[in-house]
Structure 1
Amino acid sequence: MQMKQHAKLSIAPMMDWTDRHCRYFHRLMSGHALLYTEMVTAPAVLHGDRDRLLGFSPQEHPVALQLGGSDPAQLAEATRIAVDYGYDEINLNVGCPSDRVQSGSFGAVLMERPALVADCVAAMIAASPVEVTVKCRIGVDEQVPEEVLPGFLRVVSEAGVARFTIHARKAWLQGLSPKENRDIPPLDYPLVHRMKAEFPHLHLSINGGIATLDATQAHLEAGMDGVMIGRAAYHTPAEILLEADQRIFGADTPHKTAHQVAEEMLPYIEAHLASGGRLNQITRHMLGLFAGRPGARHWKRILSEQAHRDGAGPEVVKRALDAVSQFAA
């Protein structure tokens, strides 16, 4: 399956959330959805602990690395390094509104500098045998999205990018926190849909506030090439991912149960503990597995209260599963 087909449904890059343990957990639920890393800055790749920043399990494929930066040479070198780790796609962040990102002159502030973004992606493409993509906003601050977004897509696509994910909100770089920027600026789905009509040759995914597979299917049926889901996939992963392969990708395999997924995580957990890791580094991503289902409160409570303790192991997960099973019986 080509990457653009996997991109029919992707799970957004989310800082402090979509680490390698989260991605492994999500992959057990969907074999086809495209998974993204947390954003990693190009300087961190060049000067930091690369194995910690870039390492991942082969089972996570297809997986994309999201880079942050605005220096074409740095981004090109970071791309070369990342490709050697085996990533299936390299994505440039032109959407993050955090103060730290702004001070580094990258992320959403780059919506104001499409020519620089074009230089960045051109350098990345020259360094990469795998596809380079962009995740952006519809605009920032006082920009008029209807004017800014088409120009941005035109300039950046002319530099060689054929696949974009558009977060259908403005980012307010002054006056709103990163958290507020995920909720307060109004969504403009129609504008993103118009971009698909205006640029039919580009592969465009829509992102922002999409929380169900029904909504995902509606966007695809309306003409979008892909849908990216963020927080809903993290907080209610079973609702989004357990049926995704069948409903979005047309797979004829039976979907797993949440209980099966928890059981399948146990060998991974044991290997992580054997390498010196801690249980809660993994189970913090699993708290929402039974969200909205009988026993969910007990599952979450047992993991929250016990997984961080010294010496905590797979028996904590088994205990939490037993509690869920009592309600399902």
Structure 2
Amino acid sequence: MTTATPTPPSDPRAAAYAASVRLSVAPMMDWTDVHCRQFHRLLAPGARLYTEMVHARAVIHGDRSRLLALTPEQAPLALQLGGSEPADLAEATRIAAAHGFDEVNLNCGCPSDRVQAGRFGACLMREPALVADCVAAMAAASDVPVTVKCRLGVDEDDDYDVFAAFVDGAVAAGASMIVVHARNAWLQGLSPKENRDVPPLRYDWAHRLKRERPGLPVVVNGGIASLDATLAHLRHVDGVMLGRAAYHDPYLLHAIDATLRGAPLRPRGELLRALRPYAEASMAEGAALKHIVRHVLGLFHGQPGGRAFRQVLSEGAHRPGADWGLVEEALAVTEVRARDRSAA
């Protein structure tokens, strides 16, 4: 496969952003908040992280301290925007750049009814000219890279050339990368949850897009849940974006990142304890432990003691006064269960 060989960025942060294209964690509503991203950064130092989708108007008029919460450690970090008004998207992009985000991503893939009613998300794939206008306005608003996350099409769309033309329009307008959730979005008859499973995956469209446009960075997303699958896709595209697999089995995210960087695996407990300074600082500022540890519940997924770990945290984190001691208790119980299992 022919690939472009860009000049390496001289700025260390830009270089880290460029390198992070190989592995990223998808923007996921109600999941990839600031606490989740802090944990994922510890697990995957080389990955690119994404916020939950935020509507452009919320960025302009809402509580930015909450909506745009980030820490310096979370870079490379992208803000995903929803919206379809070029002026609003441009202003939100300017705000994001000033706030310290490394990328602004336009959502053209979310299939929810609320998103459709607002004329953004996946329904934008039916309006390629509008998408091009939005991307052009965003790209002109700052020097931060503008990217697009899209589906293969909407409902019964089954024409690769239409999909490719949508991509070409976005790129011509200024999009520097395309993230392809490699299945259609069904706007009628399927829930957002069903849209993540029911429409068939067609990775070959993403692979073909890269093959035919070797200079365009292409990232594939959708149903990828193993190291082997990640490595297989990286033979065809520039990057892999993990979604639910990274959330429900966070150690998989760590294993993939470590493999790609040639780094040793770290023990689960060590990774979790590295979160303690952030957790205690956040709680000192008013955050509740339950809002932090809900993102770590899958750390021992499939491991002896994993159920006990989840149970201790789930039952105890909501109690008044819960602090990091509960996490240590969960780790201790997990270690005991694991020893008992191995001794049996």
Q: Find the residue that maps to 2:119 and give its secondary structure.
A: coil
Q: Which amino acid aligns with 2:281?
A: A
CA contact (8 A) 1:55 1:85 kept: no
Tell me if 1:172 matches 2:172: no
Once the two structures are superposed, the pairs formed by residues 1-329 of structure 1 within 5 Å of their partners are 1-221=15-235, 223-239=236-252, 241-248=253-260, 250-251=261-262, 253-329=263-339
Instruction: Report the Cα distance in structure 2 between the residues aligned to 1:152 and 1:51, rounded to whole angstroms.
Output: 34
Instruction: Report the Cα distance in structure 2 between the residues aligned to 1:258 and 1:144, rounded to whole angstroms.
Output: 43
Q: Which amino acid aligns with 1:107?
A: G
CA contact (8 A) 2:89 2:134 kept: yes
Which string of whole-angstrom CA distances, capped at 9 and with x for unpartnered residues, describes residues 274-296 of structure 1?
Answer: 11111100010010011011110
CA contact (8 A) 2:16 2:46 kept: no
Deviation at 1:219, TM superposition (A): 0.4
Instruction: Report the Cα distance in structure 1 between the residues aligned to 2:139 and 2:25, rounded to whole angstroms.
Output: 23
Instruction: Report the Cα distance in structure 1 between the residues aligned to 2:145 and 2:16, rounded to whole angstroms.
Output: 11
**TM-score normalised by structure 1 residue count:** 0.96
Gapped runs of 5+ residues in structure 2?
1-14, 340-344
Deviation at 1:2, TM superposition (A): 4.5
Gapped runs of 5+ residues in structure 1?
none
Deviation at 1:246, TM superposition (A): 3.1
Which string of whole-angstrom CA distances, capped at 9 and with x for unpartnered residues, describes residues 229-270 of structure 1?
Answer: 10000000002x22233322x34x433211101111122111
Q: Which amino acid aligns with 1:291?
A: H
Match of 2:7 in 1: none
Of all paired residues, the percent bearing the same amino acid is 57
Instruction: Report the Cα distance in structure 2 between the residues aligned to 1:275 and 1:2, rounded to whole angstroms.
Output: 30
Deviation at 1:144, TM superposition (A): 2.1
Q: Find the residue that maps to 2:231 and give its secondary structure.
A: helix
CA contact (8 A) 1:135 1:164 kept: yes
Q: Find the residue that maps to 1:18 and give its secondary structure.
A: coil
Q: Which amino acid aligns with 1:245?
A: D
CA contact (8 A) 2:132 2:169 kept: yes
Q: Find the residue that maps to 1:288 and give its secondary structure.
A: coil
Instruction: Report the Cα distance in structure 2 between the residues aligned to 1:106 and 1:54, rounded to whole angstroms.
Output: 20
Q: Which amino acid aligns with 1:273?
A: M
Bigger shift: residues 196-205 or 292-301 = 196-205
Q: Which amino acid aligns with 1:213?
A: L
The CA RMSD over aligned residues, in Å, is: 1.1
Q: Which amino acid aligns with 1:314?
A: W
**TM-score normalised by structure 2 residue count:** 0.92
Q: Which amino acid aligns with 1:105?
A: R
Q: Which amino acid aligns with 2:299?
A: L
- Poorly superposed stretches of 4+, deviation over 4 Å: none
Instruction: Report the Cα distance in structure 2 between the residues aligned to 1:34 and 1:117, rounded to whole angstroms.
Output: 24
Instruction: Report the Cα distance in structure 1 between the residues aligned to 2:62 and 2:157, rounded to whole angstroms.
Output: 35
Q: Find the residue that maps to 1:91 and give its secondary structure.
A: strand
CA contact (8 A) 1:138 1:148 kept: no
Aligned residues: 325
Instruction: Report the Cα distance in structure 2 between the residues aligned to 1:232 and 1:83, rounded to whole angstroms.
Output: 29
Instruction: Report the Cα distance in structure 1 between the residues aligned to 2:65 and 2:303, rounded to whole angstroms.
Output: 37
